[in-house]
Structure formats: C-alpha cells, structure tokens
Structure 1
C-alpha cells in the first residue's frame, strides 16, 4: 500500500488550482468593491460537532491570496470539536480574506465531512474491527479523501489498481474463481491478494489456496458469521456491500476483521463552517 503524503507543494498546488477555478478570468469582482486597506479579524467557527480536517488547505488558500494574512490555528487536524467551537482566527485585509474564504471553507468542509463520517463508523464498529475506505472517490481527489479517512480513525484500503490483487465478482463472472486465485498467487510478486465471495460455496472452492483476505460481499449476517468462522483461522476477513450506520454494528459483531464502506468517501456530508466578522 502506498503511503499518503501531503507535502506542502502538493497542498499548495492543489489549492492553487482551486483558486484558479474560482477566480478565472476576472477575479472576485464583488470583493473588489471593498476597500483593500481595511484590516479585519474574523473567527472561523464550526456549526456542528465534527472531526476537523483540511486546515493546511484552508491556510494555503489565504496565503496564496495574501501572505500577510494571519491564520492562527486553534484546533488541529483530527481534533474532535463541538458545535460553536473556534477553529481558527484570521486577520488581514478584508478584501483578500473574502476572496479566499470559499475555497478555504470548501476544502475544510469536505475533508472534515469525510473524517467525521468515518469516525461515526469507527465508533460503532468497535476496537476489534477496522473501517476501510474504497476506490469510490472523486477523481483526482483520492489522496485528500483517503487522508481524511485516516483523520477519522479509518484504515486506507488499496490506493489504486496496482496496490494489490482484488479479485471481484465481475472478474469471477468472466473466468473461474479458482483459476484466477491460482494465477494471482503465481504472479503476486509480494502483492497481497484479496478474493471476493458472495456465497459460502465460492468460499469453500478456494479454501486452502495461499492468499491473504476473503472479502464477503452483500452476504446476510447469518452467512457472514458462518463464513468468518470457516475462514478466520487461515485468512483476514472483510465485509462489504451497502453497509451503513444502522447496520455496521451488527456486521462487526460477526467477528469480521474489517469492513469496507464506500459511502465514507463518496457520500459524506460536508461539515458546516462559518466565518464570523
């Protein structure tokens, strides 16, 4: 698994593209009406309980517009905050703060949203079961979204298609499960191998082969529990398939090692923040 690295250059370049999107071709024509010599001090507040994430992206948004803006962080990425909490104080020229405001809040809201939703799943699953993200991410945003999952206490699944073998239902439908697993073992070159099954018959077909993880997809709790019992001595076990906050606790109780949840990246609600002047 590739380690996620959010270098200063990566953050700065990502934010720069976002600002270009917001300001092309004529800049902020509304904020240009504000006198640029007026200095203001604003508070960045959370309008709801949340896990904070994305502060370095927000900071870069202001810095790229005006490096004289003071961005004083009161809560760090990964911090759990309550509604009304002060996250940052910002001081500088009013016009420039207004120009950077939306891009800064967009990064903060999105990253915090993923971290917060992930943390909700993590708490319900308990300490013995990991919550993993998937590749169901916004194109070109995967590094950022997987970073957010880590902030929320989750575990990163494979980053891309080269990270490990993941033999899924459509691979199996196009071939033979036992043959695919055997080929993966032959060609693994230190890569991990995960095999998805959607029934116990498939599981029994591949038992004894040397791979790493069995992924139980869209199985009933009864069958999942039985599958975990059969496989756990030999393989890591994982569950997936439309698992939500109402069902995750029951899935975790089957004894599965980890649960992969696509919704923590593709459907996390943004956290509501505001700048109070």
Structure 2
C-alpha cells in the first residue's frame, strides 16, 4: 500500500494538485483550511474509521493513504482490506490516528477518490458477473480528463482488462478515419505502411470484415451489431484476429453479446457513468 505506483501516473503530483485545489493555493486568501485552522487546536488528535455503507468492490485506498500522509507523515494508518476485494455493507476499510487538522483537510480528497474508484470497480464487477465467463471485459478512453490512469486501474480492480491506454499505444480506425481514407482497407493499409503494429479496426457491416483483415488489421471492433450479426461476424472472422463487441452495451444486453463468441466486450459506461460508492469516514477526538 505504501509503495503504490502506476506506470505514467505521478501520485505525489496528483496529491499535491488535488489538495492545492481544495486549499485554494495561489488564490487571494487561499492556501489554508479556514475551518480546521480556526476551530481545531493545532495539537488536537483524532482517530478515524473509513467504512462502506453498501456492498462494494474496493479501489483507491492507497491513494487515500497518500493524501493523509502528505499532511501528517507520522499518521498511523491501518488498511484493513485488499484492493479489488468485494466487501459487504458496513465493512471497515481503514483506521487512522494522527493530527486532527491533517485528517480533516485531507478527508474530502481521500473520500472522493475512494468513492469514485470503488464505484467504477463495483460497476465493473457487476458487468463481469453478467458475462458469466464469456469473453473478456474491456474499458475505453471515455474517462475524466486527468484521471485516466486511476479510472483504468479501478476497472482492473473490478475484473476488466484495459483497452488501449491512449492515442499512442495502438491505432484504432473508426468511421471518420475511413471517411477520409476512402475505405476500411485503405485506412488499415495506411496504418500498416506507417509502421503501426497494433491496428484495431472498427467495422459496422459484415462486408467490411474481409477488406480490413486483408489489409492487416490485428483486431476487429464490431460496432453496434445485434446478437445475430455478432455471431455471423465471429463465424466469418473464424479466429484470425480477436473480435470485440462494442456500442450501447449495458447490464441487460452484455450477457447475450458476450456469449456470441467474441473475444472482448468493451463498455464505456464503466468509467463514464459509474455512481460513486457510499464510503464514509468518522472521527473521534483522542
């Protein structure tokens, strides 16, 4: 927990920027917690318990630890559950003991993070369960700006795999790229000619499959196809490349679409629409 890292994510910078925003650093009169500073004695100490009020899949506790430690390096923190664990309502997640002002100032940032990431992980697990062992769930790039690494981490805690992390690690040819290139095949050929080794090509019709494969696509995204069409597409591809069902998929439809034989199912709402988990933090003066 104390050595939490994510490739491409600067935890210390995230903590600083988030707390600076809340404290109004750089703004007239900013740079302090007016309420805690005026009401709580500097030497006061609190003990606290973070718990969940609903059953959740846990994600984000190491980031919460970093918020508290940044304001009180000596704070005693005991993390009680593992990341990715499914816990029932009423579970204690973390115990803390330390400077009261530091706890109060870091509280909102810590809770916001755990609520948001646990909400994503919880929704993700629900989608994984609805797939009943068929296919692999993927997330998308539909993330809040600045939070992609954390949100994609949360989907992993819920049991999904990450789709491409950004615009840099794979080409994804969509309808607008095809419109400029002139055809699916030509768009894929241009990506291959540019030296791109991972080329995901979106197709929304069965007659686009062979041109995409012939040009060198390494992954087909089967966009907005109904269950019957997905089955036909999977049969036509015949295992030559991975296939991915995408577009408008929800908890009511994912089971049937996952069972068509596709390799993956991608769902944007995992990061776009997950409700915050109900997580709270109660303090007691020492």
Fold shared per TM-score above 0.5: yes
Match of 1:27 among 21, 32, 47: 32
Cα deviation 1:224-274 (Å, max 9, x = unaligned): 111111113212110100111111101101111101111111111111111
Tell me which residue corresponds to 2:15: 15
Match of 1:178 among 185, 189, 192: 185
Tell me which residue corresponds to 1:243: 249
Q: Shift of the alpha carbon at 1:112?
A: 1.0
1:90-109 mapped onto 2 (5 Å cutoff): 90-109=96-115
Tell me which residue corresponds to 1:163: 169
Is the counterpart of residue 111 in structure 1 residue 117 in structure 2? yes
RMSD over aligned Cα, in angstroms? 1.9
Task: Tell me the TM-score normalised to structure 2 length.
Answer: 0.90
Q: Shift of the alpha carbon at 1:197?
A: 0.7
**Contact 1:54–1:111 (8 Å) recurs in 2:** yes
Q: Shift of the alpha carbon at 1:159?
A: 1.0
Q: Distance in 1 between matches of 2:32 and 2:105?
A: 8
Structure 1's 8 and 155: CA in aligned 2 closer, same or farther, altered over 3 A?
Answer: closer
Q: Distance in 2 between matches of 1:9 and 1:256?
A: 32
Tell me which residue corresponds to 2:92: 86
5+ residue gaps, structure 1, are: none
Post-superposition, which runs of at least 4 consecutive aligned residues in structure 1 deviate over 3 A? 204-209
1:118-133 mapped onto 2 (5 Å cutoff): 118-133=124-139
Q: Distance in 2 between matches of 1:178 and 1:124?
A: 35
Cα deviation 1:1-41 (Å, max 9, x = unaligned): xxx95279821221111000001114111112122323221
Query: What SS does structure 2 have at the residue aligned with 1:196?
Result: strand
5+ residue gaps, structure 2, are: 25-29
**Contact 1:194–1:211 (8 Å) recurs in 2:** yes
Cα deviation 1:154-210 (Å, max 9, x = unaligned): 111111112112111111122221111222222334x21111111112224434443
Q: How many residues align?
A: 273
Is the counterpart of residue 230 in structure 1 residue 232 in structure 2? no
